[in-house]
A and B are shown apart, each in its own frame.
Chain A
Amino acid sequence: SAVISQKPSRDICQRGTSLTIQCQVDSQVTMMFWYRQQPGQSLTLIATANQGSEATYESGFVIDKFPISRPNLTFSTLTVSNMSPEDSSIYLCSVLGGAGGHYNEQFFGPGTRLTVL
């Protein structure tokens, strides 16, 4: 399984500002994903980030609000732009991995807990 780290682990931000979350993987991976977990809720996919192509966003999420970079096979960033209190959530990155050539499961980072005041 891949080892995934995220920075920062948590932050408290003022409304109207932006925060960039970093996701680092200890091995090269093709597919990375960003999820949001709002307080007391389940996880919702924000976007899929593949190296060498533009991120693809799910319904309800737009690039202007959540720009994503994927400069190489071990790193990605998610920016939460022009934040409002409704953006207070845990943001998690994940990577597609597996064993025996069967890459069909996702491994998750520890998450970034964001509070917007």
Chain B
Amino acid sequence: DGGITQSPKYLFRKEGQNVTLSCEQNLNHDAMYWYRQDPGQGLRLIYYSQIVNDFQKGDIAEGYSVSREKKESFPLTVTSAQKNPTAFYLCASRNEVIKRDTEAFFGQGTRLTVV
């Protein structure tokens, strides 16, 4: 089945550790996104990529890093510089079509907790 797979579903991080969240899609979509969701808040954009080997910072990129070496994959690393990383992380992808805007499809999320 086509879709977006995020792993792991739950992740625990110790203080000072870097962790990497995986996002893989088999929808052949060009654009991929990482969002962070905190209780009572909307989705905030961390990074996005519209094409392989290129990505842009979103509104809250500090303390995060990404790579886009393959069209199917867009991993997110939460570094020790991110002071408050406990949150629900969502990955999405979208098909870039010139003449109309298209919806983004989301994975099921990774819940990251600092212990």
Partners in one complex: no
Residues of A within 8 A of B (CB): none
